[in-house]
Structure 1
Amino acid sequence: MDSSARPSAIPGYEDWPGYVFKNDLVEVPQRSRQLAEVLGVPAPASNLQISRQWRETHDGVTTMALSWQLGFGPETRAWLVVPEGATGPLPGVLALHCHAGQKYTGASRLITFPDNQSEPGIETDPARHDLYDGRSAATDLARDGFAVLAHDTFSWGSRRFSLDTPPEVYNAAAAVHESTIAKAAGLIGTSFAGMVAHDDLAALSVLESLPEVDASRLGCFGFSGGGGRALMLAALSPKIRSYAITAMMTTFSSLLPAYLDAHSWLLQTPGLWKVADWPELTTHSSAEQFLIQFASRDPLFPEQGMRDADKLLNSLHDTGSYTGSFWPVEHRFSADMQRQVFDFFYKTLGNEITL
């Protein structure tokens, strides 16, 4: 039977295998080499061509729409938010959106858009309301004096696969399709998490190149799957000075046997545990300080696993480098938790902010 009679299993990404085959593994510090190999992170292209679509000042901030092409799949959409009237380079923070089981959208859930701009699907994306207390974390952090970049990563938002389904059923189709993506990634020598890390590393290079940003003061943060992305990015890139993880920390052993299906391929890359336990990956980072927020009532993680992770983290790091905090909430990034993250970045990156 002619194979062309079968539909593509990776629609919109038929050029992805060729990209992985021709690109070497990303260059990382020696301590992170094994991690990069297990994830199979291809080196992102350097000197990406960044396009600016629009710029609007509203509600105390200026929001700019950006895009770039990574060399495979659809173009990446992103938004840079800075304080209104800011002059001079600002500390830069990469805001990493969560998984949420909502792949039709991505970074847009972290942004407050001006009245004359919007993004497809944002009106019906429940993540901002249900998981972020209705707040726009990237926009709110920018008001505190930061240049914040939020981008769609591999398989979300503008980088989603073309599943030929209407928006209202896309997320259900994408949930099933994630295992197909993981199969394809394994076949070509990478992983789902490795490709997400590839897109995040590319976005970090964009952030540091922007004239609005002080490249010597870079950080990142994320909730849930975004927290996992923050950990991987900090482990792979020495450019990250500080980072924050929310509701995405436990020991791998605590996931067995009951919690495996609570998580996506972002957390469960084959062979990752042989490199390090999840808390131990923090030792791969050169960041000066990091914050981890635990949601003690989180149904996605056993509380004992979180407590064990916190104990391990305290044993691995000098006093003052690791801050752990437990919050009596379910799986969410509440307004108060967001405030703690913003204050953490002001302490670790923002001591010279001038507006």
Structure 2
Amino acid sequence: MTTADMAGMPIRPSALGRYEDWPAYAARKHFAAGSPSAQQLVDTLGVPPTAPVPKYRVDTETKHDGVITTGLSWQLGFGPRTSAWFVRPTGITDPLPGILALHCHGGIKSHGAERLVLLPGDEGNDAGATTPVGFGPVPAQLREELYGGRPMATWLAQQGFAVLAHDAFMWGSRGFGLEDQPWRTARAINGQQALWREAGVEPSSADLYNPAAADHEETVAKAATLLGTSIAGTVAHDDLAALAVLASLPGVDPERLGCTGFSGGGGRAMVLAALSPLIRSYVVTCMMTTFASLLPAYLDAHSWLLHSPGLSKLGDWPDLVVRSTAGAVLVQYALADQLFPEAGMRDADAHLSQRMPAGRYTGSFWPGPHVFSTAMQEEAATFLSSTLQANEAPGFPSTDPARTAL
């Protein structure tokens, strides 16, 4: 869209497409946490209230690859309907430990939880058929580059867990409508569209959406500030609702719930565990450092999921882990992580080692870049199996505390 196009429009486009009901919802009181520490975090992030258990609908169900994959959806108090996938192993009737699998940011908002789930068909290539927003299959490089090519939620179910993966606020089914782009966003992506035209590239709908959504995150952060909330707080709202759904699903033991997330999903896991006593253990992968280490060179490496106004007044980033009542947490660090300096990761590990009660914190350092490798996933599964006492522990090497010496 050119400047002339914008000038010729009689009405300025909405900056909150599909979310025009968000302001009224955010005006309600904050989420009621179960402890003063959790309520302090709620009020800082501006977490909106959630229904006790959102009423979900079963949309699809198939058996494949040793699992049952059920497509679920539910309507929260604002914005579009949430899509989610519940995956559990076939042939097991006893209640299973439940895992909330939290998708990463990844710079791709056209797809959310689908990146973690193997959908029946051509190795997940039919993902677009179940995506309400119609962006087609999950980009192959997303899973290959960040998860070692593994659909992590499906794989965790194959190891004996009941796993729920849902689209969070701003991603997939919970994305903003950018068909009529806000003027600031339209200006920001004009250059990219011009380059495509010059190169003769015909971008897909997802190609068009993702750069617009990346720029639009700044607008969403502004809106959240005006509404007395934050992006991290509104994402936490969606995650708390999904956790309530997981706890209510048949075949899930509500006394054995955990969560795991990579990158932005790891930050979501930290916030969720600090807010909800339902989380018994969790894994944070490639999302740990100190606030000081982000200055001055690493500020633009991260989204508004990390940079929440007022959060530093409550302590450092690792202090979110200290606030959690979960029995155990595994934090995985990547020594060649291009998004976090090693010194910041080392300082965070030392902070947690000193502040956390004995036996509750495990830190492991891995060679390599910002990825959730299959070996790291295996360590995470072993940790969750041990701490949540899964029915059948997978045959992986146990978590190795010696890795902290790397």
Shorter-chain TM range is: over 0.9
Q: Offset at 1:47?
A: 3.2
**Mean CA deviation greater in 155-164 or 81-90:** 81-90
Give 2:13's match in structure 1, choosing from 2, 7, 10.
7
The one-letter code sitting in structure 2 at the alignment partner of 1:34 is Q
Residue type at the aligned position of 1:5: I
1:341 aligned partner:
380
In structure 1, the partner of 2:143 is: 128
1:118 pairs with 2:145: no
Equivalent AA in structure 1 for residue 50 of structure 2: P
When the two structures are superposed, what TM-score results if normalisation uses the length of structure 1? Answer: 0.96
Deviation at 1:23, TM superposition (A): 4.1
Spell out the pairing of 1:79-90 with structure 2 (5 A cutoff).
Answer: 79-90=85-96
Aligned counterpart, 1:146: 161
2:221 to 182, 193, 207: 182
AA in 2 matched with 1:151: H
More displaced, 223-232 or 162-171? 162-171
| Structure 2 counterparts to residues 199-278 of structure 1, below 5 A | 199-278=238-317
Instruction: Indicate the structure (1 or 2) with the bigger Cα radius of gyration.
Output: 2
> Structure 1's 188 and 261: CA in aligned 2 closer, same or farther, altered over 3 A?
same
Deviation of 1:30 after TM superposition, in Å, equals 1.1
State the distance in 2 between where 1:68 and 1:224 align.
25
**1:4 Cα shift?**
8.3
Q: Which residue of 2 aligns with 1:41?
A: 47
Distance change in 2, residues 1:209/1:4 (3 Å): farther
The number of residues matched between the two structures is 353
Partner amino acid for 1:140?
A: W
Which ranges in structure 1 are unaligned for 5 or more consecutive residues? Answer: none
Residue type of the alignment partner of 1:57:
K
Matched, 1:197 2:197: no
Normalising by structure 2, report the TM-score: 0.84
Please report the RMSD computed on the Cα atoms of aligned residues, expressed in angstroms.
1.7
Letter of the 1:333 partner, please give it. Answer: F
Aligned to 2:363: 324
**Counterpart contact for 1:96–1:151, Cα < 8 Å:** yes
Structure 1 residues 143-197: Cα deviation after superposition (integer angstroms, max 9, x where no partner): 1111000000000000000011732211100110001000000001000100000
- Structure 2: gaps spanning 5 or more residues: 1-8, 129-134, 181-204, 394-406
Tell me: CA distance 1:135–1:283, structure 2 relative to 1, closer, same or farther (3 Å): same
1:55 is aligned to 61
Structure 1 SS opposite 2:279: coil
How far, CA to CA, are the matches of 2:294 and 2:312 in structure 1? 12
How much identity, in percent, do the aligned residues show? 56
